[in-house]
Amino acid sequence: MSYDPSGQYHVPTTYEWNLTIERQLPAKTLFRIAYVGSRSLHILETEYYNPSNPGGVAGCPGSVGSPGKAGTGLANCTVFLGSGGAFKTNTFSSTVQADITDINANYNALQTSVEKRMAHGLTFLANYTYSKSLDDLPFGEGVSGFDTGYSVLPFNDPNRHRMDYGPSGFDHAHVFTGSYVWHSPSLRSSSTLLRYLLGDYEIGGIISAASGRPITVLQGTELSSRGIGQDRGTFVPGIDPYSANSCAGVTAKCVSWLNPAAFLSTAALKANCATFGPTCALPTFGNVGKNVLRLPRTSGWDVQVSKYFNFTERWKLQLRVEYFNVLNHPNFAPESISTGTVNGTDQISAFDKLNNNNAFGTFRAGQASDPRV
């Protein structure tokens, strides 16, 4: 049973529009260019209605703590940071969730394609899309049923939607796909030997490339002590968040993609929280925007080569060789490849969490998509 006291549970709505221009070119070639846009309203999200409240603690004024947590020994704000949500708003329940349709999204794209129909044994199709998808759905949250990827800010914070507005989790600014097939002449007028050796070959392939998908850096430690578990990282001004250096001092082969030095560590935030303002609670949500960083680009090239032997009009023989990812290019995907644990730390969840220093921002052995798929 559900109840919506605010009356804000609306039917999700999407508006779509496009403008397409097609042009016939010489050599049986068709060029197409289009602008495609959409706007989605009232998308579902899950809100967390029982955050902790760091009140009654010296150095963290301005709120009221839960009576059931009196005498916990949290002497000051620094001690309180990272206490894992010791002060629940409602002490009689641990988790209170509600689904509400208050998320909006928009998409704008330039889409182009070139298609050549079969002529002289050659056909190809190429597509390129330059797009941007934005929404205010909290990082890591789905849009169906109850989820746990809550907003970093409490549900009643007026800045919550601004904090969560950014590129969609599936946003890829640049996407290219291309396919081609070339069939060599049959050499019907040549000798049987030349026809079998040099005629009726077919070469085809699929080429794909896309810019990296977005990622959000999380602190990995409950610094705001709201019990939500989505505190963002905090940038160190003037330091590049990306690193091209290989990892050092680890046994597993890995490559650093994100630079840990570009973010304040948990220890640094706890030790210097007073320098960020009169209270420790406000800055510890972090200042890393949602999905402002990107994973590496992905690319692939699959090739097939076939040889046809024509014995009669009815009987033919095809010999076919397929080679996937012919350049053997790795596509790193820490969010989808299960690599187990290292020293008790899950290597997928550790990639974007600062408190796992040895695993943060690094691609380790096994975190690449299958090079032959």
Mean pLDDT of 60-71: 39
Q: Evaluate whether 176 touches 208 at the Cβ level (below 8 Å).
A: yes
Question: How many other C-beta atoms lie within 10 A of the C-beta of residue 14?
Answer: 12
pLDDT for residue 371 is more than 60: no
SS (H, E, C) 302-338: EEEEEEEEECCCCCEEEEEEEECCCCCCCCECCCCCC
Predicted local confidence at residue 146, as pLDDT: 58
**Would you call 7 helix, strand, or coil by DSSP?**
coil
Mean pLDDT of 57-86: 42
Predicted local confidence at residue 23, as pLDDT: 96
Residue 265 or 201, more confident: 201
pLDDT for residue 76 is more than 50: no
Mean pLDDT of 19-37: 96
**Mean pLDDT, the chain, whole residue set:** 74
Predicted local confidence at residue 237, as pLDDT: 85
The band of 59, judged by pLDDT with boundaries at 50, 70 and 90, is very low
Q: How do residues 90-119 score in pLDDT, each as one tens digit?
A: 555 567 777 778 889 999 999 999 999 988
Tell me the one-letter amino acid at 5.
P
Rank 33-37, 47-51, 240-244 by mean pLDDT and report only the highest. Answer: 33-37
SS (H, E, C) 35-82: EEEEEEEEEEEEEECCCECCCCECCECCCCCCHHHCCCCCCCHHHHCC
Predicted local confidence at residue 219, as pLDDT: 80
Predicted local confidence at residue 367, as pLDDT: 57
Residue 158 or 291, more confident: 291
Please name the helix (run of DSSP H) or strand (run of DSSP E) that holds residue 118, with its range, or none.
strand 97-119
Q: Evaluate whether 202 touches 306 at the Cβ level (below 8 Å).
A: yes
Residue 94 or 218, more confident: 218
Predicted local confidence at residue 346, as pLDDT: 39
Predicted local confidence at residue 147, as pLDDT: 58
Supply the DSSP string of 228-239, one letter for each residue. Answer: ---PBP-BPTTS
Q: How do residues 326-360 score in pLDDT, each as one tens digit?
A: 988 777 765 543 333 334 433 445 677 776 666 77
Mean pLDDT of 24-39: 95
Which of 9, 12, 87, 84 lies closest to 47 in space, CA to CA?
9
Q: Evaluate whether 150 touches 142 at the Cβ level (below 8 Å).
A: no
What percentage of the chain carries pLDDT values higher than 70? 65
Alpha carbon of residue 192 to chain centroid: 56
Predicted local confidence at residue 283, as pLDDT: 43
Measured CA to CA, the distance from residue 307 to residue 321 in angstroms comes to: 9
The band of 133, judged by pLDDT with boundaries at 50, 70 and 90, is very high
Rank 167-176, 290-299, 337-346 by mean pLDDT and report only the highest. Answer: 167-176
Tokens of 44: 């579902």
Measured CA to CA, the distance from residue 119 to residue 27 in angstroms comes to: 8
The band of 244, judged by pLDDT with boundaries at 50, 70 and 90, is low
The DSSP secondary-structure symbol of 255 reads E
Rank 231-245, 306-320, 323-337, 340-354 by mean pLDDT and report only the highest. Answer: 306-320
Measured CA to CA, the distance from residue 175 to residue 132 in angstroms comes to: 11
The residue whose two tokens read 């009009």 is 313
